[in-house]
Amino acid sequence: MAGRISRREALKLFGAGAVACGAGICATSAASADARHWHEAMYYDKLGNKKIRCRVCPKECVVGDRERGFCGCKENHDGTYHTLVYGQCAALNIDPIEKKPLFHYLPGTSAYSIAAAGCNFDCKDCQNWEISQTRPEQLKDTLDLPPQQVAAQAKRYKVRSIAYTYSEPVVFYEYMFDSAKAGRQAGIKSIMISNGSIRPEPMERLLPHLDAIKIDLKSISPDFYRDYCVGDVTPVLDTIKLVKSKRKWLEIVYLVVPTLNDDPVEVRDMCQWLMDNVGPDVPLHFSRFHPAYQLKKLPPTPYDTLERCADIARDVGLNYVYLGNVPGDEHATTRCTGCDKTLIRRNGFAVVEMNLANGGCKSCSTKVPGVWS
């Protein structure tokens, strides 16, 4: 990307005196990160000479003293690695679960949704770049919300779940982990809305505390991940397989970006990979792209392109294919694979009709994969 300095380069150049934001260098002292939100990181190796290697995500950043990793929300102090955002909530909403989107998980319920600053990707189309590409000390209006309070507030608002969402929860792993544990003790479920770029060991440790996971599969192409996300597809595919093998509820979103990942051959390859590795019953949401962040010059995804993607997915054999960010409810309707009757009809994020009984179709009793109560 011509003319733009990477975050890692900036941190190397300026050390603790400046940090890089998504748009370039931000002259903000790392020392101003609020010490109340420091918490020792759960996964890192000490390398000597006060260097560490972070072991949460596949980037495995090697970080010198007083430096930060790629995500910008973890910092090395004298050879001890810290998250800087433990209990520092950067966004908070009570959302319908359909907004995540999760369509086969407790439909019609709400999720207490939180985020912290940072991400281990830098997607050119990020809709939440103000949070994901910003350092914690640059955010205004953050909220002190430690894990026990997350659980207590979720209970107070009578939601069924806590969602770790908006930015990338992998990089606020410690905050998510303890909130999910506190939520479990309070009888609240936890759902992770993620890019899936996490190492297997921390994911395996986290999974017993989670109840559902939505993963953004951005492309099946390594080139796309490298050029448009500053990431790698292989660990994402590995996480999808891991979640499936542990029998946690999983849904996949594929944001269809015009000209970049909408090639029918590529879409077919992606659908076939899902069929081969997680089976026909994983819900797949094709989501419409809207111009944002560094991809403002591209148009929104044409409706025909989304329909073509859905046709390909059904042709490959996927049973539950949805379109997102499009008007009209037909493409957000769940149909019975046995008798084709409407099982769940949605209008926007609202559930307006439910024809399920005991996890199956009311008409023909065909079982519907998902978590319904």
Sole window of 106-114, 117-125, 265-273, 331-339 interacting with ligand SF4 (rule: CB under 6 A):
117-125
- Name the β-bridge partners of 24: 21
Total site size for ligand SF4, rule CB under 6 A: 23
CA–CA gap between residue 304 and residue 258 (Å, rounded):
11
Torsion of CA 95, 166, 333, 270, to 10 degrees: -160
CB of 65 to ligand SF4, least distance (A): 14
**What DSSP assignment string belongs to 119-161?**
-S---TT-TTHHHHTS-GGG-SS-EE--HHHHHHHHHHTT-SE
Least gap, CB of 314 to ligand SF4 (angstroms): 26
**Residue with smaller CB distance to ligand SF4, 132 or 239:** 132
Q: Judged by CB under 6 A, does residue 57 bind ligand SF4?
A: yes
| CB-based contact 79:343 (threshold 8 Å) | no
Instruction: Note the Cα 246 to chain centre separation in Å.
Output: 18
Rounded CA-CA distance 210/191 in Å is: 6
Binds ligand SF4 by CB under 6 A, chosen from 69, 146, 183, 370: 69
Q: Does 19 bind ligand SF4 (CB under 6 A)?
A: no
What gap in Å lies between CA 101 and CA 90, rounded to an integer? 20
Task: Compute the least distance from the CB of residue 120 to ligand SF4, in Å.
Answer: 4
Smallest separation (angstroms) from ligand SF4 to the CB of 69: 2
110 is a site residue for ligand SF4 (CB under 6 A): no
The minimum distance between CB 207 and ligand SF4, in angstroms, equals: 18
| From 50-58, 89-97, 233-241, 295-303, span contacting ligand SF4 (CB under 6 A) | 50-58
287 binds ligand SF4 (CB under 6 A): no
Secondary element (H or E) of residue 56:
none
CB burial readout 307-343, b (16+ within 10 A) else e: ebbbebbeebebbbbbbbbbeeeebbbbbbbeeeebb
Q: What are the two backbone dihedrals, phi and then psi, of residue 121, each rounded to the nearest 5 degrees? A: -115, 170
271 binds ligand SF4 (CB under 6 A): no
- Region 219-248 residues binding ligand SF4, contact defined as CB under 6 A: 229
The answer to the question of residue 67 lying near ligand SF4 (CB under 6 A) is no
The stretch among 143-151, 164-172, 312-320, 364-372 that binds ligand SF4 (CB under 6 A) is 164-172
d(CA 101, CA 113): 12
| 59 binds ligand SF4 per the rule CB under 6 A | yes
39-40 vs 24-26, strand pairing mode: unpaired
Regarding 76 and contact with ligand SF4 (CB under 6 A), the answer is no
105 vs 172, beta carbon nearer ligand SF4: 172
Report DSSP state, residue 314. Answer: H
Task: Please list the residues that pair with 216 across neighbouring strands.
Answer: 253
Q: How far is the CB of 260 from ligand SF4 (least distance, A)?
A: 14
Residue 154 makes contact with ligand SF4 by CB under 6 A: no
Q: Tell me which residue has its CB nearest to ligand SF4.
A: 69
Contact call for residue 122 and ligand SF4 (CB under 6 A): yes
Interacting residues toward ligand SF4 by CB under 6 A: 54, 56-57, 59-61, 69-71, 74, 119-123, 126, 128, 132, 167-168, 171, 195, 229
